[in-house]
Amino acid sequence: MTTSVEFAEFLPAYLAEVDELLASAQRDLLAVEEAVRRGAAQPRAVRELFRALHTIKGLSAMVDVEPIVSVAHWMETSLRLADQAGGRLPESSVEPLVEGLRAIEQRVRQLGAGKPASPAPANLLERLEALGPHVLEAAPPQPRRVVLDAEAAFASKLAPSERGQLEAGLAAGQRAVRLDFVPSAGRAAQGLTINTVRERVAKLGDIVKVLPLSGAAAGGASLAFALLLITSSDDAALLDAVGGAPATVRSLEADAPEEAAVPLAPLPPTAVPVAVAEEEMEEPEVRRGGGLLRVEVSRLDEAMEWLAALVVNRSRLTRAVTALTATGAPTRELTAILQENGRQLRDLRSAILRLRMVRVGDVLERLPLLVRGLRRTTGKSVRLELDVGDAELDKAVADRLLPALVHLVRNAVDHALELPEERVAAGKPPEGLVHLGCHARSSGQLEITLRDDGRGVDAKAVAKAANAPVPESVDGLLDLLCRPGLSTRQEATSTSGRGMGMDIVRRIVVEQLGGELRMETRKGAGTTFTLRVPLTVTLVDAIVFECAGLKYAVAVGTVEELIDVDALRVVRPAGADGLGLVERRGAAVPLLSLERLLGRTAPAQAGVSRGAKALIVRQRGEPVAFAVDRLLGQQEIVLRPLEDPLVRVPGVAGATDLGDGKPTLVLDLGALGAAHGVRRKGAARPGEWVS
């Protein structure tokens, strides 16, 4: 089945909207499943899930995608019943709902790839249709009755599901309260409007309903808002959230004492007080800069390309002004204009990069659903913890990074974590833990750690599978794990055993993104993988230097320090094959001649020239110095990755144009040293320096 021709033009917007709704629905369904496991209700998640599927059904009907309409319809029907039952679902209903979301997602991907959406599975539709009676059977017995003050006035405004939500909250031991907020000009000046109050109160409980009220409100006001909510917070916290008096809090429980207060009547649909009318007139002015605008990534890529061209032209202009200055021409005004142009380009670059940035939390929001599926297929009890905060990275990096993280999470659950009975026998809790955290570093990189509390990596088993000697270090063990085709599984399963996972992780993190991959493991205690990737891979600040008569560049974020190298103080241990040692704050650091690594001179002639400089980078966590002839400065460059596998070389991140029209290689020094087998063997002790 294909989309109608007249609606084909709406397909890109449809795909973007449904993708966001699916991500939201997956989060809500996982929250519902967790509540089902605890035997509790989750009315907010059930309602949000219902709304997402209702919207998906409507959008799919607009573009005539009948398979998605059918699946969403029956899911929506069962969720409507669950909403009326106070947000409760039977445990047997979760799996069909998960399969329904997967079926919708699969057909959305088919449409995105230009293929027709396959028909909805008949057996899935039958299972979803049969959920209705089971949901009704799961409805809880009638809990404590909620008697609202001004019962007659509120009765017509509360849906049965909303009344059920209040009663379910009381049955769960929480409070059902009415919180009256009285707006005023003074509170608005302090940022307290009904919108901000809703956000603040939502952190203290579940808001069931917000009703505008007219009449003689507290403090002589003619307008108030009644927020009906379920909460465990005390009155003081609630009053503080709405700015204090004249706000009031009153209980909605049946046995609560009635307060002698003037009842406020709900506003008739046609009656709009002057205060409300004024607020609505002012609202567009307040929110003029808000809202969201969807932009295709290809348009942002186009803007980045034009910016890249401007950066190259600026480099050419800089060279031209330098040449004029050398001839004695007056270039002071040109130089000032050039400096201002540089600042404007940096601001423009920051603005475009901000547009391209996405929250890491949004990128990883589907991992919990992946872990849920792995729990079922492996029979293991697993808890996934995400600690990503508000970290952001370029969408181009995020799209490449996600598959690597999926492989790492899958390996952690399938290989590292033990079965519950094995964990108990080893003195561990039966539920395994996979923790994923990340934070941005000042060097323009994002550091991601994935930690599990499993059995650790068995070096002997890995060496046996690789038909290689047992590695002496963790780095050597990681090299074995990343070998293409290596797997410790004898038979391939639906989740692992093909020997592709870690090879893909290294290729994405190290080769494609120019990042760093490290591992720490302890037998019986677990394994931690650390990934460091650049926040963006298009426009980067680089250090330009000269080596053997050619110019090269290296990203600033990868360089830890620049040092002067005294050729007379370089130590060359016996048998180190050209590897030297330099002193850095009392510690020995390996020194390599970049000229030799690049094959620009014969090994016998390799050495460190007088007045040479060195760039210190981290290679697998250890500092390594690379000697170069001359530093030329720092500038912003446009990085062009080498995509063709025939010209791709380990240690070369890509190429750039410095403004002279000639291609300049951008090096990844850490990968270059690793490709040539650089190790810290033979390191001298601090007291062995010679002059």
CA atoms of 69 and 66, how far apart (whole Å): 5
**Domain extent listing, the chain:** 5-137, 151-267, 298-358, 364-534, 539-688
Q: Which of 201-210, 382-391, 521-530, 549-558 has the highest mean pLDDT?
A: 521-530
408-462: per-residue pLDDT in tens? 999 899 888 999 999 999 899 999 999 999 887 766 788 899 999 999 988 888 8
Distances (CA, A) of 647 to 172, 511, 551, 655, 672: 65, 13, 19, 12, 15
The answer to whether the CB of 583 falls within 8 A of the CB of 686 is yes
The CATH topology of domain 151-267 is Alpha-Beta Plaits (3.30.70)
Rounded to an integer, what distance in angstroms lies between the CA atom of residue 502 and that of residue 267? 62
Task: Please give the full DSSP string across 643-684, using - where no structure is assigned.
Answer: --TTT--TTEEEEEE-SSSSEEEEE-HHHHHHHTT---TTPP
Alpha-helix runs per DSSP H in 482-537? 501-506
pLDDT at 458: 87
Query: Is residue 266's pLDDT more than 80?
Result: no
> Per CATH, which fold does 364-534 belong to?
Heat Shock Protein 90 (3.30.565)
**Domain at 5-137: CATH code:** 1.20.120.160
Beta partners for residue 547, in sequence order = 550
Under DSSP, is residue 230 helix (H, G, I), strand (E, B) or coil? strand
Please give the pLDDT value at position 449.
92
| Angle (deg, nearest 10), helices 395-411 and 367-378 | 20
Cβ–Cβ under 8 Å, residues 32 and 94: yes
Between 6-10, 84-88, 310-314, 612-616, the lowest mean confidence (pLDDT) is in 6-10
Q: Is 323 exposed, middle or buried (0-12, 13-18, 19+ CB in 10 A)?
A: exposed
Alpha carbon 502 to its chain centroid, in Å, reads 21
Is the separation of the CB atoms in 243 and 190 below 8 Å? yes
Report the 3 state secondary structure along 23-73. Answer: HHHHHHHHHHHHHHHHCCCCHHHHHHHHHHHHHHHHHHHHCCCHHHHHHHH
Query: 220-243, pLDDT tens digit by residue?
Result: 556 778 888 888 888 888 888 888
Q: Which of these ranges, 22-26, 269-273, 365-369, 499-503, has the smallest mean pLDDT?
A: 269-273
Res 41: pLDDT: 72
pLDDT the model gives residue 140? 56
384 pLDDT exceeds 80?
yes
From the list 385, 382, 391, 400, the residue with the least C-alpha distance to 362 is: 391
Q: How far apart are CA 350 and CA 343, in angstroms?
A: 11
Under the banding of pLDDT at 50, 70 and 90, the label for residue 486 is confident
Given pLDDT bands bounded at 50, 70 and 90, which one contains residue 609?
Answer: low
- The tens digit of pLDDT for each residue in 616-625 reads 888 777 888 8
Q: Is the pLDDT of residue 3 over 60?
A: no
Q: How does pLDDT run across 163-206, given as a tens digit for each residue? A: 767 776 776 667 888 888 888 777 777 778 888 888 888 888 88
For range 81-98, the mean pLDDT: 79
pLDDT at 146: 52
pLDDT, tens digit (0-9, with 9 covering 90-100), for 129-152: 888 777 766 665 554 555 554 454
pLDDT of residue 462: 86
How many secondary structure helices (H) and strands (E) does the chain include?
23, 22
Order of all β-strands in the sheet with 265-266: 248-251, 175-181, 223-231, 205-214, 265-266
Crossing angle between the packed helical segments 297-326 and 332-356, to the nearest 10 degrees = 160
Confidence at residue 527, expressed as pLDDT on a 0 to 100 scale = 92
User: pLDDT averaged over the chain?
Assistant: 77
**pLDDT for 269 beyond 50:** no
pLDDT of residue 604: 45
Amino acid identity for residue 504 in this structure: I
- For 642, other C-beta atoms within 10 Å of its C-beta total 15
Q: What is the pTM of this model?
A: 0.65
State both tokens at 421. Answer: 């009975």
Omega within 30 of 0 (cis) for the link into 67: no
Share of the chain above pLDDT 90, in %: 5
Confidence of residue 528 (pLDDT cuts 50, 70, 90): very high
Could you list the beta-strand ranges (E) of 487-538.
516-522, 526-534
What pLDDT shows up at residue 290? 46
Looking at residue 83, its pLDDT comes to 75
- Which of helix, strand or coil describes residue 490? coil
> Could you count the other beta carbons within 10 Å of the beta carbon of residue 210?
16
> What is the percent of the chain with per-residue pLDDT over 70, rounded to a whole number?
78
DSSP state of 508: I
Q: Among 50-54, 99-103, 315-319, 352-356, name the one with the lowest average pLDDT.
A: 352-356
Q: Is the pLDDT of residue 468 over 60?
A: yes
Is 539-688 assigned to CATH 2.40.50.180? yes
Residues 336-355 have a mean pLDDT of 86
Q: What is the secondary structure of 333-391 as a DSSP string?
A: HHHHHHHHHHHHHHHHHHHHHHHHEEEHHHHTTTHHHHHHHHHHHH---EEEEEE-TT-
Cα dihedral 594→597→602→604 (10° resolution): 80
Measured distance CA(397)–CA(509) in Å, rounded:
10
pLDDT category of residue 494 using cuts at 50, 70 and 90 = very low
Cβ(111)–Cβ(11) below 8 Å = yes
The pLDDT tens digits for 16-63 are 888 888 888 888 888 888 887 777 777 778 888 888 888 888 888 877
Residue found under tokens 């919708």: 104
Task: Average the pLDDT over 550-557 and give the result.
Answer: 87
Give pLDDT tens digits for 645-682. Answer: 666 777 788 888 887 778 888 888 877 877 666 544 43
pLDDT in tens, 568-605: 778 777 656 667 888 888 788 888 888 888 877 644 44
Least confident piece of the model among 247-256, 415-424, 494-503, 641-650: 494-503
> Helix, strand, or coil here: 467?
coil
Residue 296: exposure state from Cβ atoms within 10 A (0-12, 13-18, ≥19): exposed
